[in-house]
Chain A
Amino acid sequence: MMPARMLAALVAALCTALPASLTAQQFPSTPPAAAPLKPAHFPPFAETTLPNGMRLVLVESHAHPVVSLSLSLPAGNAYDPAGQEGLAAMEAGLLTKGTGTRSADQIAATIEGVGGSLAATTTDDFMTIRADVLSASAPLAFTLMADVVMHPTFPDQEIALLRKQTLSALQLELSQPASLASRFFAKTLYGQNPYGRNPLPASVRAITRTDLVAFQRARLRPTGALLVIAGDITLPAAKRLATRSFAGWTGAPAAAPPFPAPPTRAATQIVLVHRPGSVQSNIVVGNTTFRPTDPRWYAATVANRVLGGGFDNRLFRILREQKSWTYDAHSVLARPKGIGYFQAGTEVRTSATDSALTELMVQLRRMDSEPVSAAELKAAKSSLVGSFPLTIETAQQVAGAVAQAKLLGLPADYLQTYRTRLAAVTPAQLEQAADAIIRPNASLIVVVGDGAKLYDKLSKIAPVILVDAQGKPLTPADLVAKGGMLDLDLAAITAHRDSFAVMVQGRPLGYVLSSVAKTADGYTYTENTQIATALKQTTEVTLDDKMQPRHLKASGMVQGQATQTDVTVAAGHATGSVTAPTPQGMKTTTVDLQVPPGTLEDNSIQMVLPALHWTKGAHFSLSVLTANKNTVIPMTLQVTGQDSLTVPAGTFPVYQAELTGGPQPITFFVEAAPPHRVVKYAIVGTPIEVVLVK
């Protein structure tokens, strides 16, 4: 009998030899092989320079009756004056909000009237103004673009509106751990280099109209500006329209000192950003790389693809699929005009943080110490080469690719040869590039998470710098709830009842009724809360005569689901459970932890406030048992101001005090005079306010 191997070969040969009509119905059991790659094809483009120094590039294509304009200027975020971070981005937002001859409404109505779009955005290096229109409206697109870049007026009411929107977006950003991680990474990695800076509420508030006008005069100038035009237009027409529209615009951007070099890093270091009670950790690891023109770019791109680019890569396979630590793990190579960076990152639950970071570092080292397999190299290259045509499908995408190559100063044939160069990367080049871009022994690691649970474990991986979310240095001692008895004026705690209204956006949506009663050996604090149909809860806390919690009991309904808390504190130890809603659904937390002496309880903080020694500028350090997170959190209550406040219960002189450190900052307004009742409190970042009714 014929050996099986030969039989198979014979069958295969026969199949190949059979006419197409006979094989047509056979469904292959493996994916078909790629058809041959067509020769790399990149649309040709023409270049010219206008008399005012503007560079003009045209990618002519008449496939569709559309025209895309993109004007880039060296006026990105890196040029924000110190202390006014956020200025370039605000400037971009305001360019289309009024010119000498058109109001914001007119600009919007004009561009939307022809079904087009006009908008300006910034990156670290550049401001880009982009317009997309049908080609019949190309003259209008040139006219509007020139008007907004040459004659913006920055009306005060538009500044106020955009500032408000920027501040609220910023508030959201600063509350998200992933944004905190990338901010701390940039700041620490780049140091004095402006790539490390980010807007803060104070810097956004510091921006004035005068600054915006000055920035426009200094930086939005034609010399060196790049106008890329793509689509259904000819070079003479494009040149004529550009010359006419931008007539009278002259000059070069003010000379800016070269950016300082980012700090050099000799050893790996961890910045641990403490987010008390965080159930997960955001990890980013990386280092600076090289300039965008570095010839190692192609091999570095392939190396990054093998490690953590796309969907099927080492980090994803190991951290997600093998270890189930995370949904996503990936790495990126950033390519700004100056020195770029490599960054790998993931998000994991707190208990897996050190294991995940250790594995991440193992994978970074492996890239440097072990050759990449031929199969991995082939897959990475075919994916990168294959995806290139998808990135230049439309006229706008072609224009974007050309603009990026020009702005970064890449060689003239960069786009034409990109695919071929990627495909030609050798294993030796890849190894050399990996060494250059991935430096696990001189990396910056940023972890945003619960410092109390992470500090010791991370210290075994690399030296740790501990900071709070605002960047203020902390010591490990700050992570531990200090305990120690607060200096309380217990005589101020009297039996009383308070009635509060819960206001959302100025609309009463519910109430909080609280009462304090004295018992034989301490106090009872009860609270009944109802907010619309969403929440109904009764809480009862019994405390000893030093305001130490003994028992916490709560029950109610949140969004139709029952919540239940039952926690007992005895001999410095809290035990029990909390069932409460989380973004992932209802969750039961087992409470089992040491409670140092002097610890207050989260639900009953309000009843303790009258016993504090209130003065202007007073600062109180509190340790707070937060049962639903099974932890004791150090919090700070800082008196930040004095005011007179009117609530339904009357008008009161009050101290304003900010409670921070907990999951959500709270602003309290407490009567300035005894009995120091709480008159109002507001949950920062939400529209919720609770005001005293009687």
Chain B
Amino acid sequence: MRRLTTLLAALAAAVTLLSGRVQAQTPGHVALTQFSLPNGLHVILDEDHTAQVVAVDVWYHVGSRNERRGRSGFAHLFEHMMFEGSAHVKKDQYMKFIQSAGGRDNANTTEDHTGFYEVLPSNRLNLGLWLEADRMRSLAITDSTFHNQRETVKEERRLRVDNQPYAAALFVDDYALFDSATCFPYSHSVIGSMDDLNAATVEDVRAFHAQYYAPNNATLVLVGDFTPANAKRLVTQYFGDVPRASDPPPVVCHQAFDTGAMHRAVSDPKATLPATVHAFRIPAYDNRDTPALTLLATILGQGESSRLNRTLARQDKAAVAAQALTNPFGPRRGPGVFIILAIANQGVKVDSLDQLLTAQLASIATGGVTEAELTKAKNAHRAGAIFERQEALSMAEALQSAALFLGSPDAINTDLARYDAVTVADIKRVAATYLRPDNSLTLIITPEAGK
């Protein structure tokens, strides 16, 4: 009897190991409370008392897509301006208030949004809301804070892009896929042009704040240890009388796909090894092909056992590592990018690595992927979605993302089903549709000497 039990357990384990079933495990249903203030601020509450922690997450629906010609880099500059003080908070005091409460905070800018968050012990929810409300209603914009932050942004570019190997390819060079004449919103980088930043005036900054940093252009998400009634009371008290702004001007982008293969040679002074990058245009995040494209990126280049790492790196020893991903900054409401980066091994010519990579991509468009590869990618996606719910902040970001890119935060309860429905035929189809040479930009990166 005992022997049989052991045998059965071993068999069960073997089945899990060998057949690679899709895991049945599902995350619990998330019940949300939502309301809007009369001034248009939309509020999403996810009450969760697992830990004595609360995340306050504000997304302004403004990113580099809203910048006009000659003013690129503005949305990101603005993220910095939000730490320069407001009516009741002095410059540099946001972080000090948060840290003295034991919390942490930060912000980020993408093509489509600018987000600000605080994670606090739950008895300091009021502090996070008060700080966010103060800078929404009364940002201090002066010549000196503006010039100061413009320099900081340039320094950040040096640290994040110019000083990191391969970063420029992912965060700057790949925007060349998009046509500046017909789709300016997505044809320039989030970090923007230093010349444009230099040309900006403090008047531009005030106008930008008035237009975009308004309650009717923002969503506030709270996740964690609070009661909705108390949260609603505080939100109403702090944000209720912030005036609404006129609706932002529409964002216009007409981007043709399959316009012909583009090739660029770029030099990267921080890289020690040459690399090849293949970038392809993909549709907006709410497109039905997004789940298949996301899973394809996982199959190709996420993890040690992904296809490119197994073939290019471990089997051919042509690459040190390879990675595939969609949209380096996160989802977009406009056209996006699918990127594959492979770094050449010592002594391997980048051209031969590039040929191997091209052959791998072609083999997916013609031969597809295996059921086992697809199952593995689905499991990874599912696990990632479940792991991220453990932290209040990553849950808040997931809710913001669902609200902005899928139309409702409740999509968090149904989105996994879209991924489970993907078939190997879908993967082959999206590979053939989007990962084609005439829809691509190839960047050959060479390390530079003489730095």
A contact residues vs B (CB 8 Å cutoff):
20, 23-32, 34-38, 41, 61, 63-66, 105, 108-110, 112-116, 132-137, 139-140, 143, 244, 310-312, 379, 382-390, 392-396, 502, 504-507, 509-510, 529, 531-535, 537, 558-559, 581, 583-585, 686-688
B44-83: CB near A (< 8 Å → 1, else 0) gives 0000001111000000000000000000000000000000
Given contacts A133-B383, A583-B158, 13 further A-B contacts (CB under 8 A): A31-B130, A32-B130, A35-B125, A36-B123, A38-B225, A139-B13, A386-B120, A386-B121, A387-B102, A393-B51, A393-B53, A504-B447, A532-B448
- Can you name 16 A-B pairs with beta carbons within 8 Å? A23-B237, A28-B130, A31-B130, A35-B126, A105-B314, A115-B382, A143-B13, A383-B99, A386-B101, A388-B121, A393-B50, A393-B392, A532-B448, A559-B451, A583-B158, A686-B449
Beta-carbon contact of B127 and A395 below 8 Å: no
Cβ contact within 8 Å between B383 and A134: yes
| Contact assessment for B450 and A534 in the assembled complex, using a CB-CB cutoff below 8 Å | yes
A533 to B304, CA, bound (A): 35
Contact A386 B25 (CB under 8 A): no
Residue in B closest to A37 when the chains form the complex, CB atoms: B123
Tell which of B87, B124, B381, B384 touches A34, judged by Cβ atoms closer than 8 Å.
Answer: B124
- Which candidate, B177-185, B244-252, B323-331, B344-352, is the interface stretch facing chain A? B344-352
Which listed residue, B267, B310, B348, touches A532 by the CB 8 Å rule?
A: B267
- A34 near B9: Cβ-Cβ < 8 Å: no
From B233, B379, B449, residue with most partner A Cβ within 10 Å: B449
Contact among B27, B96, B305 for A105, CB-based, below 8 A: B305
Question: Across the interface, which residues of A come within 8 angstroms of B40, CB to CB?
Answer: none
Assuming the contacts A113-B305, A507-B446, A532-B267, asked whether A134 and B101 have C-beta atoms less than 8 A apart, the reply is no
Compute how far the CA of A604 lies from the CA of B102 in the bound complex, rounded to whole angstroms. Answer: 57
Q: Provide the residues of chain A in CB contact with B306, threshold 8 Å.
A: 112
B269 touches A27 (CB 8 A): no
CA distance A565 to B72 in the complex (A): 36
Interface residues of B in 6-61 (CB under 8 A from A): 6, 9, 12-13, 16-17, 20, 23-28, 50-53
CB distance from A685 to the nearest CB of B (A): 9
Partner among B122, B233, B273 whose Cβ is within 8 Å of the Cβ of A687: B273
Q: Mark B387-408, 1 if CB is under 8 A from A, else 0.
A: 1011110000000000000000
Q: How many A-B residue pairs have CB under 8 A?
A: 231
Chain B residue with minimal CB distance to A685? Answer: B272
Chain A residues with CB below 8 A from B304, complex form: 105, 108, 112
Give the residues in chain B near A310, CB-CB below 8 Å: 99
| CB neighbours of B99 from chain A (8 A) | 310-312, 383
Given contacts A38-B123, A61-B50, A132-B387, contact A509 B25 (CB under 8 A): no
How far apart are B86's CB and chain A's nearest CB, in angstroms? 11
A residues less than 8 Å from B254 (CB atoms):
none
- The CA of A34 and the CA of B348, in the complex, are separated in Å by 60
B236 interface hit (Cβ, 8 Å)? yes
Task: Across the A-B interface, give the 7 residue pairs with the lowest CB-CB distance, nearest first.
Answer: A386-B102, A115-B383, A535-B450, A387-B102, A109-B305, A108-B304, A534-B448
Q: Contact at B349–A506, with CB atoms within 8 Å?
A: yes
Q: Is B375 an interface residue (CB 8 A)?
A: yes
Q: Given A139-B16, A393-B392, check contact A114 B23 (CB 8 Å).
A: yes
Contact A116 B449 (CB under 8 A): no
- Of B23, B26, B27, B51, the residue contacting A137 (CB under 8 A) is B23
Which A-chain residue is minimally distant from B54 (CB atoms)?
A: A389
B167 part of interface (Cβ distance < 8 Å): no
Is B284 at the interface (CB under 8 A from chain A)?
A: no
B133 contacts chain A at the CB level, 8 A cutoff? yes
**B103 part of interface (Cβ distance < 8 Å):** yes
In the complex, B261 has a CB within 8 A of chain A: no
In this complex, the interface size class of chain B, counting residues with CB under 8 Å from chain A, is: 35 or more
- The answer to whether B130 and A529 have CB atoms under 8 Å apart is no
Whether A389 pairs with B51 at a CB distance below 8 angstroms is yes
> CB < 8 Å: which of A27, A244, A504, A506 contacts B446?
A504
Whether A558 contacts B450 by the Cβ 8 Å rule is yes
Q: Do A387 and B386 have beta carbons less than 8 Å apart?
A: no
Known contacts A28-B130, A134-B386, A140-B16, A688 near B102 by CB under 8 Å: no
CA distance A393 to B395 in the complex (A): 12
- Closest-by-CB residue of A relative to B393 is A393
Q: How far is the CB of B317 from chain A (nearest CB, A)?
A: 10
When chains A and B are docked, how far (Å) is the Cα of A507 from the Cα of B267?
14
Does B52 contact A114, Cβ atoms closer than 8 Å? no
Residue in chain B with minimal CB distance to A135: B25
Are B103 and A387 interface neighbours, CB within 8 A?
yes
Q: Which residues on the B side are within 8 Å of A66 (C-beta)?
A: 386-387, 390
Neighbouring A residues of B348 by C-beta, 8 Å: 505
Q: Are B376 and A139 in contact (CB under 8 A)?
A: no
B238, B274, B310, B372: the one contacting A507 at CB < 8 Å is B274
* Closest residue of B by beta carbon distance from A132: B387
> Which among B9, B87, B121 has the greatest number of chain A C-beta atoms within 10 A?
B121
In whole Å, how far is B189's beta carbon from the nearest beta carbon of chain A? 18
Instruction: Kindly list chain A residues whose C-beta atoms are within 8 Å of the C-beta of B88.
Output: 28-31
Q: A311-B99, A390-B119 are in contact. Are A34 and B25 (CB under 8 A)?
A: no
List the A residue with the shortest CB-CB distance to B104.
Answer: A390
Residue among A116, A132, A134 facing the most chain B CB atoms (10 A cut-off): A134
CB <8 Å contact, A34 and B27: no
Residues of B within 8 A of A139 (CB): 9, 12-13, 16
> Is A383's CB under 8 angstroms from B448's CB?
no
* A37 / chain B contacts, CB cutoff of 8 Å: 121, 123
In the complex, which residues of chain B have a beta carbon less than 8 angstroms from the beta carbon of A529?
450
CA distance A118 to B1 in the complex (A): 33
CB A419 to nearest CB in B, in angstroms, measures 10
Bound-state CA distance A141–B272 (Å) is 37
Does B380 lie at the interface of the complex (its beta carbon under 8 Å from any beta carbon of A)? yes
- Identity of the chain B residue whose Cβ is nearest the Cβ of A532 in the assembled complex: B267
